[in-house]
Amino acid sequence: MAIPRNSIAGFLVSAKSVLQTAIKKSQKVTLVIGNESAGTYHTLYNLDSLTSSLLYAYIRSSTPTPNAFTPLYIPITNIPAADVDIRPEFLKVLSHANLESHHLITLDDLPDLSSIESQLPPHNTKWILVDHNALQGTLGSIYSERVQGVIDHHEDEGKVPKDVGDEPRIITKAGSCTSLVTEYCSKAWDSLSSSAQSSGAAHGQDDASGVVDDSAVSALWDAQVAKLALASILVDTANLQSKDKVTDHDIYAVKYLEAKMMSAPQVSKDFDRASFYKEINAAKKDIGSLPLRDILRKDYKQWTEGKLNLGVSSVVKPIDFLQNKAKEELQDKSKQEAFLSAIEHFAQERSLQIYGIMTTSISASGDFQRELLVWSFTPEATQAAKKFSQIAAEELGLEDWQGSGGSLDDAEGEKQWRKVWRQREVQHSRKRVAPLLRQAMS
């Protein structure tokens, strides 16, 4: 039986209540979860994971398959509730759908991880992965065998079974995972919209006309969800201008979502794609008020190869900005000392043997630019880091870096080794740099 149609805000309120009841009464739940905040990915969640999980859970709850494990699909935002506020783009995007951070269902809404198996036993759960295809960390150690569906645009790790029943197993290239979710859900979504348009039933009161019909309400709800989804696709594809990322899936999804938005005058009347993209992208880059530690963990991923742990932070400001931020926080040290001390502490907190920082920024002449810092902390890690510098130099276009505070290199050590470059081949993001580092570590 389908869940009655509601706004995305109303849906999340109901889903959170159902989850709480399921935990207390040992009932079945279907959970949709994005990129991990621990384990292989160790990321502080991104906008694509958020919107992918919200969209999939929202549409499938209204159009479940006949053999659905449960009629309700619950989207899990894979971070603690307190971490939502360090993602200004989350708050900005949520506001466009009449949502606030408290509406999200986060890790805080799951039982304590030390006792999660007894309070939420695996046999009572079914997991759908979006924006990744291997359930990792503590959740993975308990529930990996309960993964029964995936939509993702990363390399297939072979962890999701080939036979997932009525759920999708879609792992293919796209600029945004939300594009793939939109494409997959489009038929069911259109069916929902058509059903509301044909009903014509009165639904609530309106000050101007006395009543509003179901079709108008449904169109507004559709438009709000469509705008959420559109935001992450535009950010991930640079407003469909990134030639290295944009696929036909993304182009289709943007066209489809904008059509949904156009059906609701409340949403469409002031909409302009370029302005919307600039608004969300500016919010994503608004990190000036954050402490350096939060900046480094805002978009952070971690992997393990053999006995070596690798972590890479992506930052939307240049290294000079990070140095100045560190100096503000550690005023008794020089700019370089403060920065190096801060990032070494960050790496130690996460037991890393290799730590990297990738930055993006716009030069004074308006050109997109990248920088790359790699720091190894053990002899074995140093061998890997030096190997990386050899095998990746040409492909990434690595050139010596010199900031306003001088060089940050320490390339002579055997126990530790540090190097900073300007990355001239700017088309290569962390999706390429991280595999090259992992290759050097193996």
Do 58 and 8 share a domain, yes or no?
yes
Q: Compute CA 170 distance to the chain's CA centroid, rounded to the nearest angstrom.
A: 18
Do 228 and 331 share a domain, yes or no?
no
- The Cβ of residue 276 has, within 10 Å, a number of other Cβ atoms equal to 19
Do 215 and 265 share a domain, yes or no?
yes
Q: Quick check: 359 and 318 in contact, CB under 8 A?
A: yes
Q: Is the per-residue pLDDT at 42 higher than 70?
A: no
Question: Which residue's entry shows tokens 């989850």?
Answer: 19
Do 139 and 6 share a domain, yes or no?
yes
Q: Is the per-residue pLDDT at 357 higher than 70?
A: yes
Do 43 and 187 share a domain, yes or no?
yes
Q: Dump pLDDT digits (tens) for 229-265.
A: 999 999 999 999 998 899 999 999 999 999 999 999 9
Domain boundary among 286, 308, 330: 286
Do 229 and 302 share a domain, yes or no?
no
List phi, psi (to 5°) of 47.
Answer: -60, -35
Do 22 and 114 share a domain, yes or no?
yes
Domain boundary among 268, 286, 304: 286
Q: Dump pLDDT digits (tens) for 313-353.
A: 999 999 999 999 999 999 989 999 999 999 999 999 999 99
Separation in Å, CA 213 to CA 149, 197, 207, 338, 441: 36, 9, 13, 61, 61
Q: Is the per-residue pLDDT at 105 higher than 60?
A: yes
Do 270 and 326 share a domain, yes or no?
no
Q: What is the DSSP letter of 250?
A: H
- Mean of the per-residue pLDDT values for the chain? 89
When pLDDT is cut at 50, 70 and 90, the band that residue 411 belongs to is low
List phi, psi (to 5°) of 225.
Answer: -70, -40
Q: From CA 282, how far away is CA 88, in angstroms rounded?
A: 9
Do 312 and 236 share a domain, yes or no?
no
Q: What is the DSSP string of 304-362?
A: EETTEEEEEEEESS-HHHHHHHHHHH-TTS-HHHHHHHHHHHHHHHTT-SEEEEEEEEE
CATH number of the domain encompassing residue 346:
3.10.310.20
Do 229 and 328 share a domain, yes or no?
no
Domain boundary among 286, 312, 339: 286
Q: Is the per-residue pLDDT at 202 higher than 50?
A: no
The reported pLDDT for the residue numbered 200 is 46
The reported pLDDT for the residue numbered 20 is 96
- Domain hosting 400: range is 292-441
The DSSP bridge partners found for residue 127 are 31, 147
Do 198 and 337 share a domain, yes or no?
no
CATH number of the domain encompassing residue 50:
3.90.1640.10
Q: β-strands 308-315, 354-362: how paired?
A: parallel
The strand ranges marked E within 97-207 are 125-130, 147-152, 169-171
Domain count across the chain = 2
Do 305 and 425 share a domain, yes or no?
yes
**CB neighbour list of residue 398: distance below 8 Å, 6 or more residues apart:** 372, 389, 392, 421, 422, 423, 424
Q: Dump pLDDT digits (tens) for 263-316.
A: 999 999 989 999 999 999 999 888 888 899 989 988 888 999 999 999 999 999
Q: Compute CA 225 distance to the chain's CA centroid, rounded to the nearest angstrom.
A: 17
Q: CA angle, corner 233, sides to 230 and 238, nearest 5?
A: 120
Q: What is the DSSP letter of 5?
A: P
